Amino acid sequence: MRYEGSCHCGNIAYEVEGDIDSLMACNCSICSRRGYLLWFVPREAVKLKTPENNMSSYTFNTHKIQHNFCPTCGCAPVGFGEDPRGNEVAAINARCIPDLDLGSLQINHFDGRSV
C-alpha cells in the first residue's frame, strides 16, 4: 500500500510503499521526547516529494541515524539510517501520516533507553 506523509507545514513530504503490520514505540531519549511511533521500511521504499535540503538533521550517540525534522514547524516525519545488518532503512513517524488509523495498529515497545 502507498501512504503519503509530511511535516505539519508540508515543507517535508514523502510517499512510502509497504504494509504496516505494527509500529514501534521506543523509550530512548529522543523517541520518548518526540512521541514517535515508528514504522521501519527499506530506504528505497521512500520517495521524497520535496527537496532533501528542506530537512534539518540531528544525530547523537552512535550517529547511525539521521533524525530529520523540519526547521520551520519542528515536526520530524522521517529519519534515515542503517539496520543492525548495515541495510539502509527509513524510520517513518506514523504520526505524520494523516490518513492512518493509529488505534488499529499493534504497537510494540522497545527499550532503547537500555541499549
* Per-residue three-class SS string for 26-74: ECCHHHHHHCCCEEEEEHHHEEECCCHHHCEEECCCCCCEEEEECCCCC
- Spatial CB neighbours of 37, under 8 Å, sequence gap ≥ 6: 23, 24, 25, 93, 94, 95, 102, 107
Q: What CATH number corresponds to the domain at position 29?
A: 2.170.150.70
Number of domains in the chain: 1
% of the chain surpassing 90 pLDDT: 88
User: Taking 90 as the threshold, does the pLDDT of residue 13 lie above it?
Assistant: yes
Q: Look at residue 22 and give its three-state secondary structure.
A: strand
Query: Model confidence at 84, in pLDDT bands (50, 70, 90)?
Result: confident
Closest by CA position to 5, among listed 88, 93, 107? 93
Q: Which domain holds residue 34?
A: 2-114
**Confidence tier at 19 by pLDDT (50, 70, 90):** very high
Give the model's pLDDT for residue 65: 86
Which tens digits make up the pLDDT trace of 25-77? 999 999 999 999 999 999 999 999 999 999 999 988 877 889 999 999 999 99
